[in-house]
Structure 1
Amino acid sequence: MAPPSDSTDVDRGYNDKKVVTSDVNGSSIDVEGRAVAEAHLMNTTVRNITWTGVTVTVKDRETKQPKTIVENVSGIVEAGEICALMGPSGCGKTTLLNVLGSRPVGPTQKVEATVLVNGHKPSRNAFREMSRFVEQEDALIGSLTVRETLDFSSRLATSTKSLSKKERVARIEGLLETFGLREQANTLIGTPIRKGISGGQKRRVGVASQLITSPKILFLDEPTSGLDSAASWEVINYLKGVAKRNNLIVIASIHQPSTSVFNLFDKLLLLSQGKPHYFGPVAAVSEHYESLGRPVPLHVNPAEFLLELVNIDFSLDRVSAAQRLEEMQAAWAASHRAEQVATAIAAATSQTTSHSRSPSPGGGDNEEVVEKKPSLPGLTITLLHRSFVKSYRDVVAYGIRIAMYTGLAIMMGTVWLRLDATQASIIPLTNAIFFGSAFMSFMAVAYCPAYLEDYTQYVKERHNGLYGATELIVSNFFIGIPYLFLISLIFSSISYWLSNFQPTATAFFTWVLWLFLDLLAAEGLVVFMTSLFPSFVISLALVAFANGLWMSVDGFMVPPTILNVFYKYVFHYWGYQKYVFENMMVNEFANRVYSCATTADGCQCMWQTDLADQCLIRGQGVLDQYGYKPGYMGKDVGIMMGIIVGYRVAAWIVLKLKK
């Protein structure tokens, strides 16, 4: 396959973004100079990325004392090179990668680092625009096809005003061809229920979905984790080819590569206990360790040999092993190659932005196409479209819930079957109202896994600067409305008439309304709790607990007239189930009359109302024991809308506050 030229869609970068820069000493420069540096930095191919003095200190969990996990690490990677970060488990690879990728590194006490691109320090936002980060467990939506995954990634990153549909398709087709995914283009990524592409292909899709935005620097955390040697070689080989053809800088942490995979990398940064032991060409690493009197044995995987050499976790004599490690680290720091690295970094950082634009073959500047990011409405519509595709393909999202609620409706309708308008049916009708409303909201916990997938995808795409919390919350809310209304209508159509609630169209659609509001509030609770604690077990437990609390204080278990003051004012009034249960009770009993029991001794009415002399019970008599009166439906709908919006706003705040 012929490599794409620099003018193809695959190679277009970000030219309309602004970067705040500083000089090599970190001091601010004048506004005009900053603008010039910014324009040059963003309108040219990135030549290199350098990092010096990277040191990360955390608080030790046991001793509570500062502990350095990455110490004084420096390096430089040129355009078109692929660099491996390698070392034993716990050596600081991922932490270093996060620092280089301008990502959170955890609850650190101190992070010291100078990371420059083309000799300049870009702002955080600008760096996000020119770089992409692929997680070890890359979040992909299993119900999308490979082509759709790339298409949505492109639409989230670039405005339709920047790329026409034809250009977008050309870019996607180019990546499918480049990564060998053309035959799998219309295959699903795969879900726990539906089989999809292989693990190696998923890794390639994850990388391709980041390259669709034409980044200039790509960071990968353990891209070969969980893959066999053949699949690992396949992934790294594709990365190497893409990097060479497109002048892309690739930096990847890797655990224990095979010999063939190891030899694909251009450069190696070897870490042990957070300190550098080697940085330079992979081809020269054997020469370096031979100079230390530790040559790589023949017919031995050099990567395995190096990892065993710098790993002291399993040494019988830890003191001697630690001393040997310190000697090797000191030897590296004093080596000629370490001096070469320092010289190369100094040369790169001394270059000015006036040299950052390389001449084109025609002799003029190599101008790149300006690509604008989508607007908030555009991003929201794209997310809505993606969520819609997911919702009708992934049965876990709504299909199983529709089936579950349908089964629940049949069960409820057949248990509370054709209840007569007699006093013997009043308590069963009340129980049915509670069951229908409370359990419908309680079973919203089934939405936790579907939202967790959306949340994981959001975290990845937010870190890459594609969209924020507003777009996620708004699109998530609107995509659920038609499905939740459909669920409410199906459940009500079955259970309402089987149980013989008040048989009028007005009463039926009022019931549907309150059930719909109930589900909207319950799903909002799921979104809030899962955003707060994005763990399936924890979010499930918290949502179940909260719904159990609302069920206890909604007025059914203990009537509001005798509910103790603490629960009444702290939980009862802002529990959404309270308003659902109350208005469903009013809907059933406010305008209905029930016959009393007749015995040999005459009429026996359990509720005494003004119709007792007619051997009838006015439904308001039932409501009086709860303190319910009609006429407050409009106000209660407003309160429910406030609760529904409140949960979404709370989830938005949680997402905004999270780093």
Structure 2
Amino acid sequence: MESEEKKCLDQSKQGEKTPIFESAQFSKTYPRYYSTETNKQLPSAEISVHDVSYSIVTGSCLRKHSKRILTDVSGIFKPGLNAIMGPSGSGKTTLLDVLAQRKRTESLEGFILLNGQPFPQNFTFLSGYVAQDDVISLALTVQENLMFSASLRMRDCTHAERVRRVEQLVAELGLDQCQHTTIGDPFSSGISGGERKRCCIGMELVNQPPVVFLDEPTTGLDSSTAFSVISVLKRLSTLRNSTFIITIHQPRFSIYSQFGRLHLLSQSGQTVFHGPANEALSYFEQLGYVCEDYYNPAEFFLDLMLQSVQLSAFSPGFESQQAPIKTLSLVEHTANQSNIKDLVKCFRASELNKVLHDECETVLASEEGHFFDSNVKFSRSWFTQLHFLTMRNLKGFKIFPGKVIASWVVVFLISAMLGFLLFDWKYDKKGFENINGVLFFFVVVVVFGNFECLNAMLGDREIFIVESQNGYYRVSAHLLAKLLGDVIPRQTSKITVFALCLYFFLNLKPSIDSFLLFFSAGLLTCIAAVSLFVFVAAFTGRFGSAAALLPAISVMMIFVAGFFANVGTLPPVLAKLKYASIVWYAMSLLTTSQFRNVEFCDSQKLVAENGSEISPYLCERGESYLDRYSVNYSFAGCCLNFIGLAAFSLFFYVLTYFSWLRTARSRK
């Protein structure tokens, strides 16, 4: 055994610095991609990896350094079930993302080919990607989620054909019993973890992609459920001649036996083995590492690479009295050298790697192959995407009405409390102050009450990232659908309840025009505030950061609005900042709705110099109060205030669009 290891090390030292594909020349002219027929299964996909290395930049802005994740990784992933294994931190997910074209090419060395040709720019539209976490709409049933995917990803086919495709997937994935069950959240009943995982997989299979990537598809599943998921993948890869590439950490033997090809990564992100999974044990036996009977090969490989246990090397007569057991520790076996480095060297010098080298050279030299339509992009039109996204958002109100009802209850209680405190108020000086305070409190509640949007937006962020990168829809369609199917209905219902309750409990100005102005101002204020909250959530991507920024921004808006501190008392520079405040536009419209054409009369009598009474009451028109706060209460002034709120909303929704666009296109 020691002589075999010495021979392996000697061979590896001779070719250690020589790249595996150093003779490969990547300068040939590639033929144009041909167009595939619509809705027919695309050609089988074979992905070849040629000396790929990948690095990331870590550290602070002042002290940045590069960290190598993958080093000289090579391999060929053929139709069937391909598994990428390795210890935690070995770069399994990074390699999967590199294969799926989801990493920045600036940090990538080497090259990757699809059927011997460069990847088309639209590869994400031709492939499927299932994230490690089950990213799926919780408000829809299994069938509705699959139908949503089919409606947006299957092109040029009828509704009946999409329905048949969904029914086929339900049968293939074993989802018959739960197809009409809502996915559910942690606080409501729904489907099981295995059913949710299979539903996520089904959403990526509706358009029959030639290659599907799955990141840790067995995470969070029990051993039986994990085996059923992998069995489904194995069966589908065989039936459709598709390429399934998965990352997996430590599968049990029944799962490991399903793999067609295996790629082992060391802790340093280097290839330890690549080839047929059923040849892995015999390969390591040739190096002197024998997996004992009844021992899980996957655990054996991880233990070998991590050097965490002592391995036993047995001769062929395990538990035989004639064959003595010889135990060698990894430290002794590697002769005071790094075991990982030795395994990498041994693979480079192995016969398997020579075969891999020849296959890759053949791929590079080939001028023929199956090509994919490079013009294929979104399957459905922008308006179709908008329709289905809006309907999905509206579905959430039906399934989870508690969030909407809770906001109604809150504004009802606030209105009732204000009505109790200001019961039987009058149109006098104190009444003006009270109603002005109520309007200011109304604006503060409308603005600050949108923190619920942070959870909603950040909760949907992962769904948006996965679906947009997988080619479901355009970012603009998602943003407008969020506005039409979520923000406007939710806020309209809340403001309607709030306005009606305030009018009822406080007996505000009894005029249809005043109520409509009050309601419209409240609704547009709420939409403008939501636009600010949504932008901050999209820009930061973290609840903690958004929750820290938004109160500070809101307080500054309140301060410069002129109703907390009169604009006339502020420096001229700060006084101009009122036009950047939602509170200024909102209070201008709300005070106009309640104070215009109204008189506030005190019981104090006016007395002339001769002692005679001039007027029994001292009255002041509401317009004088509005002038005091520099409010333009004319029709033109109201229009300008509405335009200001609309422009504020549009400005931040445009910024949100670019933030989401950056997020959707980002590759770490």
TM-score, with structure 2 as normaliser: 0.85
**Does residue 329 of the first structure (1) align with residue 335 of the second (2)?**
no
2:511 corresponds in structure 1 to: 504
Q: Which position in structure 2 is the counterpart of 1:471?
A: 477
Report if aligned partners of 1:410, 1:494 keep a CA contact under 8 Å in 2: yes
* Equivalent of 2:195 in 193, 198, 201: 201
Would you say the 8 A contact 2:41–2:210 is kept in 1?
A: no
Please say if 1:584 is aligned against 2:590.
yes
- Alignment equivalent of 1:151, drawn from 143, 147, 165: 147
Query: Structure 1 pair 263/411, CA: closer, same or farther in 2 (3 Å)?
Result: farther
Q: Matched residue of 2:149: which SS? A: helix
Question: Which of 285, 292, 299 pairs up with 2:294?
Answer: 299
Q: Quick one: distance in 2 between partners of 1:442 and 1:36?
A: 55
**Aligned-pair CA distance for 1:293:** 0.7
Does residue 1:138 correspond to 2:143, yes or no? no
Q: Which stretch shows the higher mean deviation, 446-455 or 383-392?
A: 446-455
**Residue 109 of structure 2 is aligned to residue 112 of structure 1:** yes
Q: CA deviation at 1:207?
A: 0.7
Q: 1:28 to 1:590 in 2, by over 3 A?
A: farther
- Counterpart of 1:241, as a letter, is R
* Residues 464-516 of structure 1, C-alpha deviations (whole Å, 9 max, x = no match): 12222211111111222233222221111111231122121111111001000
Please state if 1:51 is matched with 2:49: yes
Native 8 Å contact 1:224 1:235 kept in 2: yes
Q: Quick one: which of 642, 647, 650 aligns to 1:637?
A: 642
1:99 aligns with: 98
Contact 2:588 2:633 in 1 (8 A): no
Give the 3 Å change call, closer, same or farther, for CA 552–146 of structure 1 in structure 2.
same
Choose which of 207, 210, 216 in structure 2 pairs with 1:216: 210
Going from structure 1 to structure 2, the CA distance change for 1:64 and 1:509 (only over 3 Å counts) comes to closer
Q: Deviations over 1:430-458 (max 9, x none)?
A: 11000011111210111222222332211
Distance, in Å, in 2 between the alignment partners of 1:651 and 1:502 is 38
Is the 8 Å Cα contact of residues 378 and 473 (structure 2) preserved in structure 1?
A: no
User: Within the alignment, does 1:343 sit opposite 2:358 as a pair?
Assistant: yes
Secondary structure of residue in 2 paired with 1:124? coil
Is structure 2 residue 72 aligned with structure 1 residue 68? no
8 Å contact kept, 2:378–2:471: no
| 1:174 aligned onto 2:179 | no
SS at match of 1:620: helix
Secondary structure of the structure 1 residue equivalent to 2:59: coil
Cα distance in 2, alignment partners of residues 192 and 541 from structure 1: 27
Question: Which residue identity is paired with 1:230?
Answer: S
Whether the 8 Å contact between 2:93 and 2:215 is mirrored in structure 1 is yes
Counterpart among 629, 644, 653 of residue 648 in structure 1: 653
Question: What displacement does 1:174 show?
Answer: 0.6
1:34 aligns with 2:32: yes
Alpha-carbon distance change, 333 to 418 in structure 1, aligned in 2, over 3 angstroms: farther
User: What residue number does 2:536 align with?
Assistant: 529
Q: Which among 614, 624, 627 is matched to residue 627 of structure 2? A: 624
SS of 2:344's partner is: helix
> Does structure 1 residue 597 correspond to structure 2 residue 603?
yes
- Is residue 2:256 matched to residue 1:275? no
Cα displacement (A) at 1:35: 4.5
| 3-state secondary structure, aligned to 1:90 | coil
Aligned partners of 1:429 and 1:612: how far apart in 2?
Answer: 25
Deviation at 1:306, TM superposition (A): 0.7
1:375 equivalent in alignment to 2:381 = yes
Distance apart, 1:463 and its partner CA: 1.1
1:389 corresponds to:
395
State how far apart, in whole Å, the 1-side matches of 2:397 and 2:198 are.
25
Q: Give the drift of 1:313.
A: 7.8
Match of 2:392, SS? helix
Deviation at 1:407, TM superposition (A): 3.2
Q: Is the 8 A contact 1:392 1:398 kept in 2?
A: no
- Contact 1:397 / 1:450 at 8 angstroms: preserved in 2? no
Shift of 1:60: 4.8
Distance 1:28 1:641 in 2: 55
Instruction: Give RMSD over aligned pairs.
Output: 2.8
Q: What's the CA shift for 1:151? A: 0.6
In structure 2, distance between residues paired with 1:396 and 1:603: 56
Kindly tell me: are residues 322 and 220 of structure 1, through their superposed partners in 2, closer, same or farther at Cα, counting changes over 3 Å? farther
Structure 2 counterparts to residues 254-293 of structure 1, below 5 A: 254-272=248-266, 273-293=268-288
> Distance between the aligned counterparts of 1:312 and 1:406, measured in 2?
64
CA shift digits 1:72-130 (9 cap, x unpaired): 11111222x1111111111111111111000036xx962113221211112221x1122
- TM-superposed CA distance for 1:26, in Å, is 4.2
What is the alpha-carbon distance in structure 2 between the residues aligned to residue 134 and residue 451 of structure 1? Answer: 21
Give 2:490's aligned residue. Answer: 483
CA contact (8 A) 2:502 2:508 kept: no
Equivalent position of 2:662 in the other structure: 657
- Which shifted more, 444-453 or 410-419? 410-419
Return 498-507 or 108-117, whichever deviates more.
108-117
Where does the alignment leave 5 or more consecutive residues of structure 2 unmatched?
1-23, 311-329, 608-613
% identical equivalent positions: 25
What is the aligned partner in structure 2 of residue 9 from structure 1? Answer: none
Q: Which residue of 2 aligns with 1:564?
A: 571
Aligned CA distance change for structure 1 residues 44 and 614 (closer, same or farther; 3 Å): closer
Letter in 2 for 1:488: I
Shift of 1:57: 2.0
Q: CA deviation at 1:309?
A: 1.0
Which letter does structure 1 place at the counterpart of 2:130?
V
C-alpha distance in structure 1 between counterparts of 2:169 and 2:35, whole Å: 31
Partner-residue secondary structure (3-state), 2:568: coil
Q: Please, which moves more after superposition, 448-457 or 228-237?
A: 448-457
- In structure 2, the residue matched to 1:356 is 370
Deviations 1:562-615 (A, max 9, x none): 13344433x4211112100122112211211122033xxx459xxxxxx98742
| 2:120 matches 1:123 | yes
Q: Is 392-401 or 144-153 further displaced after alignment? A: 392-401
Instruction: Give the residue type in structure 1 aligned to 2:300.
Output: F
Q: After TM superposition, give the deviation of residue 462 of structure 1 in Å.
A: 1.3
Q: Secondary structure at the match of 1:55?
A: strand
Letter in 1 for 2:107: K
Match of 1:415 among 387, 398, 421: 421
In the alignment, structure 1 segments of 5+ residues that lack a partner are 1-23, 359-366, 605-610
Task: Give the secondary structure class of the aligned counterpart of 1:382.
Answer: helix
What is the alpha-carbon distance in structure 1 between the residues aligned to residue 112 and residue 617 of structure 2?
88
- 1:78 matches 2:78: yes
Paired residues of 1:445 and 1:544 also in contact (CA < 8 A):
no
> Could you tell me how far 1:405 is from its partner in structure 2?
2.9
Q: Larger deviation: 612-621 or 628-637?
A: 612-621
In structure 2, the CA distance between the partners of 1:197 and 1:340, relative to structure 1 (3 Å rule), is same
Partner Cα separation in structure 2 for residue 634 and residue 209 of structure 1:
47
Is the 1:221–1:254 Cα contact (8 Å) retained in structure 2? yes
Q: Aligned letter for 2:240? A: N
- Rounded to whole Å, the distance in 2 between the matches of 1:235 and 1:459 is 24
Return the offset for 1:392.
2.7
2 CA distance for matches of 1:97 and 1:340? 23
Describe the shift of the 1:382–1:27 C-alpha distance in structure 2 as closer, same or farther (beyond 3 A). Answer: farther
Q: Distance in 1 between matches of 2:426 and 2:188?
A: 47
Shift of 1:422: 2.0
Q: 1:544 to 1:28 in 2, by over 3 A?
A: farther
Cα distance in 2 between the residues matched to 1:590 and 1:28: 78
